[in-house]
C-alpha cells in the first residue's frame, strides 16, 4: 500500500474543501484535497445565488467567467400570489455558474500550493489514541494511506467523515429540505430579480425559486419538507405550465436544522453542509460555508505550525466561526421554527398586511389590530416573544 | 427499503438522515448495507423517489 504524508488533508473538493485548502495553503503548510468525483464542480447541487460578501471573504473579485446575472432584488409571492418586492441589502447579488466557480476556486487553491486528487474516494479515517491521524483512500482500485496532522471534512450533506470522527451529523428528516431543480431555457423572467413562491400546494414547508441566468435561461427549483409527494413531482407540476425546456436537472438535500453542536475533535474539523452551516431560513449555504471553511483552513494551518492538533486548540475554529456567523444562524433557526407554524392563510394575511401598509410609518396599533384578526399568527408571535 | 437505482441521482440526501448509517454513496451508486430498520427517513427526503419501503 502506498503511504503519503501531508500536514492537512481536506476531504471534499467543492466550495468548503477548496476554500479551506486555499487558506491553509496560503498559510504555507502542505495540503492535500481529495475529491471523489472525476470532475470538480459537477453535478451542481445549488440554486447558484451568491452575495457580494462571499467574494470579500474569499478576497477575490467575481469573474465574468462564471457571473450569469446581476441581481437587484427579489419578488416574493404569497400562496394567493400577492407580490412583495425587496431590493438591495441581502437581496442583492449574483447568479453564477457553480461548475465554473467551483473549478476556479480549486484552481486558485492549487496555485496556492494545494495538491489535489480526483476520482479518489476516502473510505476511512485513521484514528489512533482517539486522534484523527489521516485517511485511507481508494483511487482506481488502489488503496492509499495518507497520514496528516489534521483532517478537514468538507464532504457534504452525506458526510461520513464526521461520523467516523465521533461527531454526530445525523439529520432529522424534517430538517432536510428535499430539492429538485431544472435549468430551463425559454423562460420569460426579469433577469435582475429572483422570484420565490410560497404555499402548501406549490412547495410544502419550503418554497419554489426562479433564479435568472440571463438570455431566457433560469434555475427553477423547489425545496420541500413533506412526504406527500417527491420534490420532482412538485417541480414537474409547476414546470409543465411553462413553455420552457430543461437542459439540466439538479437534486440535493439542504440541512435547515442550523449548525451542529460540535464541529471539531482531536485532529479533525468539519465544515459546510456536513456541519449544517446553512442559513435555515433561505437555505443558502455558499457564504456561510465559505466563511467557516476559511477559518477552518487558517486554524488548521496554525495548529500544524504550533504542533498542537488537540481538540483544545482546534476549538478555536468553532469559537471563530460562531463569532462570525453563529448569532445570525441562531436567529434564523428561531425564525425558521416560527415560519414552520404558518399556514397558507397566515402567509396570505401577512402579505396583504405588508402590501397595504406604509412600512416606514407602521404603528404598533395597526400591528396589534392585524394580529388580533389572525389567531394562529397571534399564537406564533406570542411563542416567539 | 428498496433502491430503484434508475431513479437515484446520487445526491446523498438519504445518507444524512439514516440513523443506522447503513447507506453508502459511491460516485455512481447507492449501496444499502445490512441493518436497515425500515424507519422511512430516506424515503421521505429522496427528491426523485428512488427509495421505496420494502414490500413484505
User: What CATH number did the domain enclosing A211 receive?
Assistant: 3.30.9.10
Pairing of strands A31-34, A2-11: parallel
Indicate whether A12 belongs to any domain: yes
Residue A197 has phi, psi (to 5 degrees) of -120, 130
Domain boundary at A231, A255, A279, which? A255
- Interface predicted TM-score of the whole assembly (ipTM), two decimals: 0.95
Please check whether residue A300 is in contact with residue A24, taking contact to mean a CB–CB distance below 8 angstroms.
Answer: yes
The strand pair at A93-96 and A49-50 is best described as antiparallel
- At residue A375, the pLDDT reads 84
- Does a structural domain hold residue A327? yes
Q: What is the C-alpha separation between A380 and A339, in angstroms, rounded?
A: 9
pLDDT confidence of residue A355: 84
Name the nearest CA neighbour of A25 among A99, A103, A114.
A114
CB A20 within 8 A of CB A154: yes
Q: Do residues A185 and A247 share a domain? A: yes
User: What are the pLDDT tens digits along chain A (385 aa)?
Assistant: 899 999 999 999 999 999 999 999 999 999 999 999 999 999 999 999 999 999 999 999 999 999 999 999 999 999 999 999 999 888 899 999 999 999 999 999 999 999 999 999 999 999 999 999 999 999 999 999 999 999 999 999 988 899 999 998 888 999 999 999 999 999 999 999 999 999 999 999 999 999 999 999 999 999 999 989 999 999 999 999 999 999 999 999 999 999 999 999 999 999 999 999 999 999 999 999 999 999 999 999 999 999 999 999 999 999 999 999 999 999 999 999 999 999 999 999 999 888 887 767 777 888 888 888 888 888 877 776 6
**Owner of C-alpha cell 453508502:** B24
List the grid coordinates of A292. 467557516
A244 and A160 in a common domain: no
**CB neighbours of A296 closer than 8 A, spacing ≥ 6?**
A20, A152, A269, A271, A317, A321
Residues A358 and A305 in one domain: no
Q: Are A38 and B26 in contact (CB under 8 A)?
A: no
**B22, B47, B48, best to mutate vs chain A, most A CBs in 10 Å:** B47
Collect all residues of chain B within an 8 Å Cβ-Cβ radius of residue A171: 16-17
Give the model's pLDDT for residue A385: 66
d(CA A8, CA A264): 14
In a domain, A75, yes or no: no
- Find chain A residues with C-beta within 8 A of B45's C-beta: 173, 176, 178, 253
Compute the distance between CA of residue A146 and CA of residue A197 in angstroms, rounded to an integer: 47
**Residue A232: its chain B contacts at CB < 8 A?**
47-49
Q: Which of A163, A232, A253 sits opposite B45 (nearest CB)?
A: A253
Are A96 and A67 in contact, with CB atoms under 8 Å apart? yes
CA A241 to chain centre: 29
Confidence of residue B25 (pLDDT cuts 50, 70, 90): confident
pLDDT value, residue A383: 74
Residues A20 and A102 grouped into a single domain: yes
Look-up of cell digits 431566457: A216
Report how far apart, in Å, the C-alpha atoms of A79 and of each of A47, A137, A199, A200 are. 21, 48, 4, 8
Q: Same structural domain for residues A37 and A107? A: yes
The answer to whether A140 and A122 are in contact (CB under 8 A) is no
Best B16, B24, B39, B49 residue to mutate vs chain A (most A CBs within 10 Å): B16
Q: Which CATH number fits the domain that encloses residue A163?
A: 3.50.50.60
Same domain, A112 and A24: yes
Size of interface A-B (CB pairs under 8 A): 83
CB A247 within 8 A of CB A186: no
- Phi and psi torsions of A204, nearest 5°: -60, 130
Q: Do A158 and B48 touch (CB under 8 A)?
A: no
Q: Is residue A34 domain-shared with residue A107, that is, in the same domain?
A: yes
Same domain, A269 and A315: yes
| A163 lies in the same domain as A285 | yes
Whole-angstrom distance, CA of residue A303 vs CA of residue A300: 5
Domain assignment present for residue A59? The answer is no
A77 domain-assigned: no
pLDDT of residue B56: 61
In angstroms, the CA A58 to CA A62 distance is: 10
| B29 close to B11: Cβ distance less than 8 angstroms | no
Chain A positions contacting chain B at CB under 8 Å are 36-38, 43, 45, 119, 121, 156-160, 163, 169-173, 176, 178-180, 227, 230-233, 249, 251-253, 255
Residue A53 lies in a domain: no
Residues A148 and A221 in one domain: no
Interchain pair A230, B9: CB under 8 A:
no
Q: Is residue A54 part of a domain?
A: no
Range of the domain at A193: 174-255
Residue A336 placed within a domain: no
pLDDT of residue A384: 67
- Among A331, A355, A370, where does a domain finish? A331
Min Cα–Cα distance to chain A from B34, Å: 17
Contact list in B for residue A277 (CB cut-off 8 A) is none
Residues A157 and A102 in one domain: yes
Q: How many domains does chain A have?
A: 3
Beta bridge partners of B26: B29
Q: Are residues A212 and A359 in the same domain?
A: no
β pairing state of A245-255 and A176-185: antiparallel
DSSP string, A275-342: GT-S-TTT---HHHHHHHHHHHHHHHHHHHHTT--SHHHHHHHHHHHIIIIIHHHHHHHHHHHHHTT-
Q: Which of A204, A238, A255 is the last residue of a domain?
A: A255
What pLDDT is stored for residue A197 in this prediction? Answer: 97
Amino acid at each position: 500500500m502506498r503511504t503519503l504524508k501531508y500536514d492537512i488533508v481536506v476531504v471534499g473538493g467543492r466550495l468548503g474543501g477548496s476554500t479551506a485548502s486555499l487558506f491553509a495553503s496560503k498559510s504555507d503548510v502542505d495540503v492535500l484535497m481529495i475529491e471523489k468525483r472525476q470532475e470538480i464542480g459537477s453535478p451542481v447541487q445549488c440554486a447558484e445565488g451568491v452575495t457580494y460578501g462571499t467574494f470579500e471573504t474569499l478576497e477575490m473579485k467575481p469573474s465574468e467567467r462564471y457571473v450569469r446575472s446581476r441581481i437587484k432584488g427579489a419578488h416574493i409571492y404569497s400562496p394567493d400570489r400577492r407580490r412583495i418586492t425587496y431590493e438591495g441589502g441581502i437581496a442583492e447579488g449574483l447568479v453564477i455558474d457553480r461548475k465554473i466557480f467551483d473549478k476556479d476556486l480549486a484552481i486558485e487553491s492549487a496555485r496556492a500550493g494545494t495538491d489535489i486528487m480526483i476520482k479518489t474516494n476516502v473510505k476511512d479515517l485513521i484514528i489512533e489514541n482517539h486522534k484523527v491521524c489521516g485517511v485511507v483512500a481508494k483511487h482506481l482500485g488502489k488503496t492509499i494511506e495518507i497520514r496528516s496532522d489534521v483532517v478537514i471534512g468538507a464532504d457534504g450533506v452525506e458526510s461520513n467523515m464526521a461520523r467516523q470522527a465521533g461527531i454526530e451529523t445525523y439529520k432529522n428528516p424534517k430538517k432536510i429540505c428535499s430539492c429538485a431543480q431544472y435549468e430551463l431555457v425559454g423562460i420569460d423572467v426579469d433577469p435582475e430579480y429572483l422570484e420565490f413562491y410560497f404555499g402548501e400546494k406549490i412547495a410544502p414547508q419550503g418554497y419554489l425559486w426562479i433564479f435568472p441566468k440571463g438570455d431566457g435561461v433560469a434555475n427553477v427549483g423547489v425545496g420541500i419538507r413533506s412526504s406527500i409527494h417527491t420534490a420532482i413531482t412538485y417541480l414537474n407540476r409547476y414546470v409543465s405550465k411553462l413553455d420552457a425546456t430543461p437542459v439540466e436537472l439538479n437534486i440535493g438535500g439542504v440541512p435547515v436544522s442550523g449548525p451542529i453542536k460540535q464541529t471539531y475533535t482531536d485532529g479533525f474539523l468539519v465544515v459546510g453542509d456536513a456541519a449544517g452551516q446553512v442559513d435555515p431560513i433561505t437555505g443558502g449555504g455558499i457564504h456561510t460555508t465559505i466563511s467557516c471553511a476559511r477559518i477552518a483552513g487558517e486554524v488548521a494551518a496554525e495548529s500544524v505550525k504550533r504542533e498542537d492538533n488537540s481538540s483544545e486548540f482546534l476549538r478555536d475554529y468553532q469559537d471563530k466561526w460562531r463569532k462570525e456567523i453563529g448569532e445570525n444562524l441562531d436567529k434564523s433557526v428561531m425564525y425558521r421554527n416560527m415560519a414552520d407554524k404558518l399556514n397558507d392563510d397566515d402567509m396570505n394575511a401577512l402579505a396583504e398586511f405588508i402590501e397595504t401598509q406604509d412600512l416606514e410609518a407602521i404603528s404598533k396599533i395597526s400591528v396589534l389590530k392585524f394580529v388580533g384578526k389572525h389567531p394562529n399568527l397571534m399564537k406564533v408571535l406570542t411563542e416567539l416573544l | 427499503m428498496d433502491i430503484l437505482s434508475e431513479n437515484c441521482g446520487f445526491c446523498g440526501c438519504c445518507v444524512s438522515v439514516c440513523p443506522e448509517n447503513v447507506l453508502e454513496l459511491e460516485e455512481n451508486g447507492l449501496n444499502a448495507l445490512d441493518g436497515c430498520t425500515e424507519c422511512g427517513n430516506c424515503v421521505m427526503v429522496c427528491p426523485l423517489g428512488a427509495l421505496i419501503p420494502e414490500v413484505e
